[in-house]
Structure 1
Amino acid sequence: MKTFFHHFSWSLIVSLIALAIALLYGGWAAVALCVILGLMEISLSFDNAVVNARVLEKMSEFWQKIFLTIGILIAVVGMRLVMPLVLVSATTGLSFGEVITLALEKGDPATVGTYGHYLHDAHPQIAAFGGMFLLMLFLDFIFEDRDITWLSWLEKPLAKVGKLDSLSYVVALAALLAGAAIAEDPSLVLIAGVLGLITYILVNGLGSLFEGGDAAEDDAGTQDAAEESSGVSDSKRGGASSLAVLTGRAAFFSFLYLEVLDASFSFDGVIGAFAITADPIIILLGLGLIGAMFVRSLTIFLVRQGTLNDYIYLDHGAHWAIGALAGILLLSIGFEIPEIVTGLIGVFLICAAFFSSVLANRRESTATLAKVPELVDSP
C-alpha cells in the first residue's frame, strides 16, 4: 500500500483537484461524468502504459522526469484539448476562435454544426492516422523472432513469416487500402493513413538511429569513469556499467515516440467521450487530469517495480491489445464500434497475459524447488 501511494500520490492529488473543480463547475453530475471518463481512459490506455514502460525503462532518470512533467502537459493540454480543436478547424475551415466558441456551446454531437459533430466527422482521418501508427507498432513486434513467446502457436509462425523484408509495410498498406475501401472519402483516409505510417517510420527510425551512437558514447563514458575510480563498486555507480540508458538525441526521439503513441490512443478516447458528454471542460478534467495522470503514474510504477520483467507476457499482451485496437480503428472508418468493445478487448488481453505470467512463474518456482534436493544430495 505504501508503494502504491508513493507512485500514485500525485495522480490522487490531481484527481481530487479535478473532481473539486468539476463539483464547482457542474455539481455532482459533473463529478460522476469525470469519474466515468477517467475510468474509461485508464481501461483504454492500460496497454499504452505497458508499452510506454518498456520504452521508458531504457531512458535516463532525467528523461523519465521530462515524461512525467512536460509529457503530462502535452498529454493533457495538447492531445486532449488543443489537438481536437486544431483537427476540427483544419477539417471544417473554421477559424480556431470559432471552433473554441463551438466547443464551449456544448452542442449535441448528433446535431449538425456542433463541435462534437465536426469532431465525429473527422473520425475517419483520425482513425486512419492512429490505426496505421499502432498497426506498425504491433507488426514490428509480432514479426520479430523472440526467445519468449506467449501465444507460441501463433507468434512463432508469424516470426518466421516476418523474416520477409518489409512485410510489416505490406500488411499495413493492405489494411489501409481495406479501410479506405469502406470510407466515404477514400482519398482523405489514404492521406491520413500514409501520414501515420510516415510518422511511425520517422520517429521510430530516428530514435533507433541515434540510440546506437548515444549508447556508444554512454558506454565510453562509463568505461572512463570505471578506469578513474576502479575502487568504486558497480552498485555505487548506479549500475551504469551493466545497463546503458538513453540520453541526448536518442532519448529525445524516444520521448517523441511516446507522445505520438499517446496521441494515437487519446484521439479515439476523445471522440468516444462525446458519447458520454459534449462538455469539453468535463472531458478535459476526466480524460486529461484524471485518466492521463493515472496512466502516466502507472507507466512509472511498471518501470520502478520491474513489473515487465517479473511478468514476462505482459509485453506480449499489451502489443496484442494494440494490434486489436489498430484493427478496430481501421474498421471504425466504415462501421460504428462502441468504446466498451475496445476497452474490454484490451483489458481481456492484458489480464490473460498477466495470469499466464503468474502461472509461468509458479511453474518455474516449482521446477527450481524440485531441483534443490538433487543439488543437496549431489557430492
Structure 2
Amino acid sequence: MLLRTFGWSFAITVVGLTLAGLFWGWEALAVVALLSVLEISLSFDNAVVNAGVLKKLNAFWQKIFLSVGILIAVFGMRLAFPVLIVSLSAQKGPIAAVQLALDEPTKYEHLVTDAHPAIAAFGGMFLLMIFLDFIFGERDIQWLRWIERPLAKLGKIDMLSVCTALTALLVSALTVATHAHQSYGHTDKTATVLLSGVAGLITYLIVGGLSGHFENRLEEEEDREHDAEEKTKEANDGPPASGLAGKAAFFTFLYLEVLDASFSFDGVIGAFAITNQIFWMALGLGIGAMYIRSLTVYLVRQGTLEDYVYLEHGAHYAIGALAVILLVTIQYQINEIITGLVGVVLIAWSFWSSVRRNRVFTDDSGSSPREAP
C-alpha cells in the first residue's frame, strides 16, 4: 500500500535530485533537497484538507488528481506561475521572462516579490472563504465546541461568510495595503489588494458553487436510482469504492487545483529566501508537491480522516491562520518557518485530541472509534 501510493514520489525524488546534481552540482542538490523537505513539512495541512475533498471522488478522478494534477502543481504553479508574474509585471513575453530569470535572477526575484500583495490578497481571500464556510457550518462532530457551537448558530445567517471575508479584505486594504512591502521599500497597493481579493472571492464562489451544485445533483440521482448500492457502501468497512463522477467530479477536481494553488502562493514566494534559481525551485517544490499529493491519496485510502475525526478541523484552523498570515504579509515579512509551525501545531493538537477521543470511546464501549458520534 505504501509503495503503491508513494512509488511515484520516490521515483521523482531520485530523478529530481539526480538532475540537480548532474546539471548544477552539489550546491543545487542540497538546495533542491532542502526545498523538498520544507514543502512537505509546511504543506501537511494542505494534504489533510485535500483528502477531505478527494474522498468524494471515484478511483478514476483520484488517479487524475495524482497524475494530471501533479503536472499542474509542478509545472503550472512552481515553474510557469512565477514566470507569468514576471511576464505581466515587466510587460515581457514568457520567453523573455525565462531569459530574465536565467540571466538576472536577482531582478527576477524582485519582480516576483513586488507582485506579492496581489498574490497574497487573492490566495488569502480564497483560503479565508474555505475556513469561514467550515467554521460557520453545522456538523455532528465538533472539536473546539466553545468556539464552533456559537459560530455554527451565527452561520445560519445568509451570506455571513462572504460578508466576513469582504470585511477582512476592506480592513486589509485600508491598513497593511497602504504600506505594502516591495523590493525597493513600501508603497500604497490599496487598489491592487482590493481587486485581487475580490477576484479570489469570486473564484471561490464560482468554482466551489459549481462543484457543490453538480455534487448535489449527483447525490439526488444516486438516492433515487442506487438504493441498493448505498446499502452496500454502508456495509463495507473503510472508504467507499465509488464516488463522484462526471461534471461533479470535474468541478471538484478544479476546486482542488485552485485550493492547491492558493496553498502554493506563499511557498513559491518564500522559496526565494533560499534561492532565486527558478529550475532549482521548480525541482525542490515539485518533489515536495508530489509527496503532498501522494499523502492526500494515502489519507483517503486508509480512511485516516474517519479514524482521527478532528484532523480535518485542525487543518481548517490552519487554513484560517494561513489566510490571515497571507494578508498580514502584504506589509510585513513573516518567516516561512513560523507559518509552517502554526499549521503543524494546530494539526498535531487536533491529532492528539482525536487519539484521546478514540481511547475514551473505546474504553467506554469497546467499539470502533469510527462509530463514535
Query: Do the two structures share a fold, i.e. TM-score over 0.5?
Result: yes
| Structure 2 counterpart of 1:121 | 114
Of 167, 179, 188, the residue aligned with 2:192 is: 188
- The Cα shift of 1:244 comes to 6.3
Structure 1 distance, partners of 2:14, 2:159, is 48
Q: Is the 8 A contact 2:59 2:241 kept in 1?
A: no
Q: Is the 8 A contact 1:273 1:283 kept in 2?
A: yes
- The Cα shift of 1:341 comes to 0.9
Cα root mean square deviation, aligned: 2.1
| Structure 2 counterpart of 1:13 | 11
| Structure 1 counterpart of 2:295 | 298
Q: Is the 8 A contact 1:132 1:196 kept in 2?
A: yes
- The Cα shift of 1:199 comes to 0.2
Which one-letter code corresponds to 1:134 in the other structure?
L
Which one-letter code corresponds to 1:156 in the other structure?
R
Structure 1 distance, partners of 2:17, 2:120, is 30
Q: Is the 8 A contact 2:51 2:300 kept in 1?
A: yes
3-state DSSP of counterpart to 1:42? helix
CA deviation profile, 1:190-228 (whole Å, cap 9, x unmatched) = 0000000000000000011111222333445535989xx
TM-score by length of 2: 0.90
- The Cα shift of 1:311 comes to 0.2
| Structure 1 counterpart of 2:325 | 328
| Structure 2 counterpart of 1:278 | 276
| Structure 1 counterpart of 2:23 | 25
1:342 paired with 2:335, answer no
- The Cα shift of 1:243 comes to 8.0
Of 354, 357, 370, the residue aligned with 1:357 is: 354
- The Cα shift of 1:42 comes to 1.2
Structure 1 distance, partners of 2:74, 2:124, is 21
CA deviation profile, 1:318-353 (whole Å, cap 9, x unmatched) = 000000000000011111111111111011111111
CA deviation profile, 1:280-329 (whole Å, cap 9, x unmatched) = 111011001x1010000000000000000000100000000000000000
Structure 1 distance, partners of 2:6, 2:274, is 26
1:35 paired with 2:33, answer yes
CA deviation profile, 1:71-97 (whole Å, cap 9, x unmatched) = 111111011111221122122312222
Structure 2 distance, partners of 1:225, 1:49, is 29
- The Cα shift of 1:28 comes to 1.8
Structure 2 distance, partners of 1:273, 1:43, is 14
Which one-letter code corresponds to 2:211 in the other structure?
G
Q: Is the 8 A contact 2:59 2:242 kept in 1?
A: no
Q: Which moved more, 1:87-96 or 1:47-56?
A: 87-96
Q: Is the 8 A contact 1:130 1:265 kept in 2?
A: yes
Q: Is the 8 A contact 1:55 1:254 kept in 2?
A: yes
Structure 2 distance, partners of 1:251, 1:282, is 34
Structure 1 distance, partners of 2:58, 2:165, is 32
Gaps in structure 2 of 5+ consecutive residues: 178-187, 368-373
3-state DSSP of counterpart to 2:334? coil
Q: Is the 8 A contact 1:106 1:279 kept in 2?
A: no
Structure 1 distance, partners of 2:113, 2:346, is 28
- The Cα shift of 1:234 comes to 3.5
Q: Is the 8 A contact 1:92 1:118 kept in 2?
A: yes
| Structure 2 counterpart of 1:169 | 162
Quickly say closer, same or farther: Cα 1:348–1:220, change in 2 above 3 A: same
Of 54, 57, 60, the residue aligned with 1:56 is: 54
Point out the structure with max Rg over C-alpha.
1
CA deviation profile, 1:10-41 (whole Å, cap 9, x unmatched) = 11111011000111122222111111111111
Gaps in structure 1 of 5+ consecutive residues: 109-113, 227-232, 371-379
Structure 1 distance, partners of 2:308, 2:293, is 20
Structure 1 distance, partners of 2:29, 2:225, is 52
State the identity %. 55
CA deviation profile, 1:37-64 (whole Å, cap 9, x unmatched) = 1111112211111111111111111111
Quickly say closer, same or farther: Cα 1:345–1:317, change in 2 above 3 A: same
Quickly say closer, same or farther: Cα 1:326–1:15, change in 2 above 3 A: same
